[in-house]
Amino acid sequence: MEQSTKDKIQNIIDENDVLLFMKGTPVMPQCGFSAAVVGVLSHMGIKYNSVNVLEDPEIREGIKEFSDWPTIPQLYVKKEFVGGCDIIREMHESGELTQYFNEAGIST
């Protein structure tokens, strides 16, 4: 990955407390897994920003290497990679996600 891509990704992560890399947009997700995470975040009333990787091939490939994670969506909270679709769903079902957001100082 080029340094410029890495910097670009790091800057977006630094600027957003809750950031979802996804396919499509929260209103029009283009993939079931992205839609599932959008559903969890909306259900919890979390304020977040998203990056549509389908509009940026550089980020789409770069984020996989950046996070050492081969799939999208990817959720970052306060610069930490929290997980992809399975982990977010599992944490949501067990109640851990609410705790995670609370501990990170994100209101739910």
The least CB distance from residue 35 to other proteins, in Å, is 13
Contacts with other proteins, residue ranges (CB under 8 A): 33, 64, 68-71, 81-87, 90-91
Q: Please report where in the chains the tokens 């790091």 appear, as a residue.
A: 10
Q: What is the DSSP letter of 95?
A: T
Q: Identify which of residues 8 and 81 has a Cβ nearer to other proteins in the complex.
A: 81
Q: DSSP string of 35-47?
A: HHHHHHHHHHT--
Q: Identify which of residues 45 and 57 has a Cβ nearer to other proteins in the complex.
A: 57
Q: 91: which 2 tokens?
A: 């944490």
The least CB distance from residue 4 to other proteins, in Å, is 23
The least CB distance from residue 91 to other proteins, in Å, is 8
Q: Where are the beta strands (DSSP E) in the chain?
A: 18-22, 49-52, 74-77, 80-83
Q: Identify which of residues 24 and 27 has a Cβ nearer to other proteins in the complex.
A: 24
